[in-house]
A and B are shown apart, each in its own frame.
Chain A
Amino acid sequence: MEINTLDLLALISLVTVATALLVGGQGRGGWQLSLLYLLQLVVVASMVMMAGGEGIISTLQFSTVGESIGWRLDGLGLYFLLITVGTAAFVSFYMAGPWGEAYQRDGGSLRWLQVALATNVFTMLLLLASGDLLSLFIGWELASWAAFWMMALAGGIALKVALRYLIYAMVGAMMVFALIVILYGQAGSFGFDEIREASVQMERGTTILVLLLTVAGFGIKMGLLPFHLWQAPAYAETPGPGSAFLGAISSRLGLFAILLVLFRVVDGAWIELYLGFMNPQTLLAWIAVATIIFPTFTAMRQNDARQLLAWHGIGQGGYMLLGIAMMDPLGVAGGMLHIFNHATYQAALFLAVTAVIYRTQTSDLNHLGGLVVRMPLTFATMLVGIIGLAGLPPMNGFVSKWLVYRSLLEQGEVLLFVGAVIGTLGTILSVYKLLHNTFLGSLRLEHQAVREVPITMWMPMILLSGLILLTGIFPGVPLQWVAEAAASIGLPMPQFNLGGVIAEGGSLDMRVISGVLLSGFAIAALIFYGAGSSRRVNPLDNYAGGHFLYASNRYHYSNNFYAGLMHLIKPWYRGIFERLEQIILLLLAVIADLLQGLYLQRQPGRVALVVLVLLLWWSTL
């Protein structure tokens, strides 16, 4: 039997899991794992280089009840896999050194964290390389459970919020299962091509059901509104680097599956369908915009750095879906590119926050401040990261959002456009609060002795920052991967070059834009520093309107940072989604109680009555 690159990758991935079991627990011993992830990255990169056409089919296939199950990796899976493995490489490197030792001192098990990470990567490989609906379902379930494991590792609150995720994930899995049953019923096969052929003749009702199950079932993982409540707490409670991995890529699997089913498995005719009030495309776009706005403004209210980031993660997912829902070249490119861009800055930001926690033991935004003088590299990472997250030039987040805006502009979707921009502006406010409350303002007395994190931690952060900047200046590189991914599911792509996109009615060349921006900074710096030197004073040596700020009396304006705005929009936060969740849970509890009563025969008389009624009803049929 000949072994191809996909088999090789799966093998290395499995070896990584085994190695994590063996040496994952040794703080500094984790370098073998980083090496293995790098090896995986090299294999994936070589696959990206040689990609095209049919994709790589794994020799690992088996058949059961007359159906063969197999794996194959095409452009779409490869794109997600590249991000997955890349993130894992950064994260494992970060985890392996002093951070891991500190984690173990605090009672955590580094070994299981490493194993969880490796398992996540392996199961995600299985999912991304699924070649039919059965292997898709297997991969989906395994990846969901692996993510749950990672979230629950910390125990306590983490376990509680992870269990909440599990409930959501199980509901999603039921929907996915129903979807697979329906599609199998249509085609009599699990194969993508067979289903695509059969789906052309699908009835209207069936098509709507398929659409609904796909978007809801997989959308839960993505944190699509109104299924978003689980995500932020669950990611925020995951041990530091783990949250960076989950936040960067894990929830994007939902988007992957939605793309795969809607554009590859099912025939594209669903786009033409009219639902009575709007078509599915518009509906998707509106769900996306709702997913952008609500979580972003919820993020702005958070007082914990990790919660804040996790909420933004949900909101940014909306941009990806919004772009793709436009289904024109610019929108697709923007939405798909945002997946990569988001992974880079979200990982950097989570790692930076983890670094702050490593030194200060807190991520409470009301108990930090002034750390820029103590942790300049971590600050730099967070600065680059938030500029990326907010989507300002010259970072990569700007490019993908620009593409989405341009697409909305071209289609004349003014309300969607305004919604997307409100999300961006809200993000700017929110991330400035994150940076300000952590790094700016006055340094607290207890943080006087804080130092920069060790090299094993700042190195991956700085490398990620470099990546955010470089892919911002040269977006053509990731756009090439996006093009392969879009081609494999038959979505259009705009014309692009190394610096950006060439489009009718306004192009973008980030080489030029970054060039003038950085030159502008350089000229301003020349003028500024040319005007003579300035005297550096103690940060506390400042003017406070007649009051004096003593060294023992720190005042950092952090709590309720946007007091004026909150005063205005507070009535809008009614927690309707929380209430919706509670109502559904209550209904479930009532039904479960009734069923349990039936099963345990608590009230035999009532059971007999129910059975009798059912029998009578049946007899009349």
Chain B
Amino acid sequence: MMVVDLLIELLLMPLVAFLVGLVMVLWMRRLGARIQRRVGPPFLQPLYDVVKLFGKETQISHGVLHDIGIIMAMGGYIAAETLLPVPGMDGVAAYGGIITLTYLMMIPSLGLALGVGQCANPNGSIGISRALTAMLAYDVPFVIVVFGVAYHAGSANLIEIIDGQQQAGVAGWGLFEMPLLAIAGLITLQGSLGKQPFEVYVAPAEIATGPMVEMGGKYLGGLFVMQAFQFYTATVLYVSLFLGGGTNWIDLLLKSFLVLTIPVSVAYLFPRYRTEDLVRLLWKWPVMIGLLGVAFVV
């Protein structure tokens, strides 16, 4: 019985993540539209997009690795969701902890890099060079944040980190216990989500010189799904680290959408930076703030 329950959880967790992630994509678009005084897309638009992309008649593959790259990009997140505890479901979070989750979240990037590399398009390769450089930039402050929170909680197990905050009440949330780390984490989020001003490595505005150059149909669809997962994973993780996780689903979703609103608003209000500016900025401010935050914890 236990095993069956666990298996259902393992299937449900990525599914919920996918659906919530789609709504998050919609939220981003609607918010952007409001800021730019537009109406924005209808509720089901993200779902239509996925169906359209996967259902396209023309699907161009540049080789087996092109396919495998997309599979790794989606599969990495599907696996990562099972390590991210949500109300009522802990999945396999106890078997890996937050360090494993951090490293699992790098697998999709590697998958994308492999897939793009196979396409033999120099512009795609330049995009990957930028994307990996960006990863080097935002992961350093990110691991400092993770370190600080885990050390403060005395555990690398996300379940225990969330439980600790919930038992301590609102004043015991990471946000109030470690405000500096929370700020550093928020800046890092902007980079890891690839949102303006750090979106140059995704190059959504000039597709021909970015990693997406050879992606169409279900290849682009796979990356769309990956983005939905990424929104969900990043924001729920942030809520788990700093906002006490979710006591129930409404609580969790409310907090997650609130967190997502910040980088998305910033994205629509600010221009972009070059990747090396990204390294300079992320290694300076969030790292400094994060280290200061850790100093208070240790």
Measured CA separation A522–B75 after assembly (Å) = 7
Measured CA separation A421–B135 after assembly (Å) = 12
Are B95 and A528 in contact (CB-based, < 8 A)?
no
Measured CA separation A412–B297 after assembly (Å) = 9
Chain B residue with Cβ nearest A511: B95
Q: Verify if B154 is at the interface (C-beta below 8 Å from A).
A: yes
Are A392 and B99 in contact (CB-based, < 8 A)?
no
Given A372-B63, A512-B96: A393 touches B104 (CB 8 Å cut-off) = yes
Residues 509-520 of chain A: 1 if any B CB is under 8 Å from the residue's CB, otherwise 0? 100110011011
Q: Verify if A575 is at the interface (C-beta below 8 Å from B).
A: no
Given A418-B144, A543-B121, A568-B279: A436 touches B128 (CB 8 Å cut-off) = yes
Q: How far is the CB of B119 from chain A (nearest CB, A)?
A: 6
- Please report which residues of chain A, range 509-556, place their CB below 8 angstroms from some CB of chain B when the two chains form the complex: 509, 512-513, 516-517, 519-525, 527-529, 531-537, 539-540, 542-545, 555-556
Measured CA separation A414–B79 after assembly (Å) = 28
Given A402-B99, A531-B54, A542-B62: A524 touches B71 (CB 8 Å cut-off) = yes
Q: Verify if B163 is at the interface (C-beta below 8 Å from A).
A: no
Are B67 and A539 in contact (CB-based, < 8 A)?
no
- Please report which residues of chain A, range 561-605, place their CB below 8 angstroms from some CB of chain B when the two chains form the complex: 561-565, 567-568
Are A521 and B71 in contact (CB-based, < 8 A)?
yes
Are B122 and A441 in contact (CB-based, < 8 A)?
yes
Question: In the complex, which residues of chain B have a beta carbon less than 8 angstroms from the beta carbon of A448?
Answer: none
Given A406-B156, A505-B160, A545-B208: A536 touches B63 (CB 8 Å cut-off) = yes
Are B76 and A539 in contact (CB-based, < 8 A)?
no
Residues 421-434 of chain A: 1 if any B CB is under 8 Å from the residue's CB, otherwise 0? 11001101100100
- Please report which residues of chain B, range 61-85, place their CB below 8 angstroms from some CB of chain A when the two chains form the complex: 61-63, 65, 67, 70-80, 82-83
Measured CA separation A520–B15 after assembly (Å) = 12
Are B74 and A425 in contact (CB-based, < 8 A)?
no
Q: How far is the CB of B127 from chain A (nearest CB, A)?
A: 10
Q: Verify if B272 is at the interface (C-beta below 8 Å from A).
A: no
Q: Verify if B192 is at the interface (C-beta below 8 Å from A).
A: no
Given A414-B298, A539-B62: A534 touches B121 (CB 8 Å cut-off) = no
Q: Verify if A215 is at the interface (C-beta below 8 Å from B).
A: no
Q: Which of B62, B100, B219 has the most CB of A within 10 A?
A: B100
Question: In the complex, which residues of chain A have a beta carbon less than 8 angstroms from the beta carbon of B143?
Answer: 417-418, 421
Q: Which of A523, A542, A565 contacts B133 (CB under 8 A)?
A: A565
Are A539 and B61 in contact (CB-based, < 8 A)?
no
Number of interface residues of B (CB under 8 A): 86
Given A527-B74, A542-B214: A533 touches B113 (CB 8 Å cut-off) = no
Measured CA separation A543–B213 after assembly (Å) = 7
Are B92 and A523 in contact (CB-based, < 8 A)?
no
Chain A residue with Cβ nearest B201: A564
Q: How far is the CB of B30 from chain A (nearest CB, A)?
A: 26
Partner-binding segment picked from B145-153, B166-174, B254-262: B145-153
Are A537 and B97 in contact (CB-based, < 8 A)?
no
Question: In the complex, which residues of chain A have a beta carbon less than 8 angstroms from the beta carbon of B291?
Answer: 414-415
Are A507 and B75 in contact (CB-based, < 8 A)?
no
Are A506 and B136 in contact (CB-based, < 8 A)?
no
Q: Verify if A508 is at the interface (C-beta below 8 Å from B).
A: yes
Number of interface residues of A (CB under 8 A): 76
Q: How far is the CB of A524 from chain B (nearest CB, A)?
A: 4
Are A409 and B118 in contact (CB-based, < 8 A)?
no
Q: Verify if B34 is at the interface (C-beta below 8 Å from A).
A: no
Q: Verify if A405 is at the interface (C-beta below 8 Å from B).
A: yes
Are A564 and B125 in contact (CB-based, < 8 A)?
no
Q: Which of A409, A525, A563 contacts B151 (CB under 8 A)?
A: A409
Are B135 and A428 in contact (CB-based, < 8 A)?
yes
Question: In the complex, which residues of chain A have a beta carbon less than 8 angstroms from the beta carbon of B150?
Answer: 409, 506
Given A536-B61, A539-B119, A542-B121: A402 touches B136 (CB 8 Å cut-off) = no
Are B62 and A537 in contact (CB-based, < 8 A)?
yes
Chain B residue with Cβ nearest A565: B133
Are A534 and B78 in contact (CB-based, < 8 A)?
no
Q: Verify if A442 is at the interface (C-beta below 8 Å from B).
A: yes
Question: In the complex, which residues of chain A have a beta carbon less than 8 angstroms from the beta carbon of B155?
Answer: 505-506
Q: Which of B95, B120, B123, B209 has the most CB of A within 10 A?
A: B120
Q: A540-B120, A555-B122, A565-B133 are in contact. List 16 more A-B contacts (CB 8 A).
A: A383-B114, A406-B156, A432-B113, A440-B65, A507-B94, A509-B95, A512-B95, A520-B77, A520-B78, A532-B218, A534-B59, A535-B60, A536-B62, A539-B120, A556-B125, A557-B122
Identify the A interface with B (CB < 8 A). Answer: 370, 372-373, 383, 387, 391-393, 398, 402, 405-406, 409, 412, 414-415, 417-418, 421-422, 425-426, 428-429, 432, 435-436, 439-443, 500, 505-509, 512-513, 516-517, 519-525, 527-529, 531-537, 539-540, 542-545, 555-558, 561-565, 567-568
9 A-B residue pairings within 8 Å (CB atoms): A409-B99, A414-B147, A414-B294, A506-B155, A513-B92, A532-B54, A543-B214, A556-B125, A564-B279
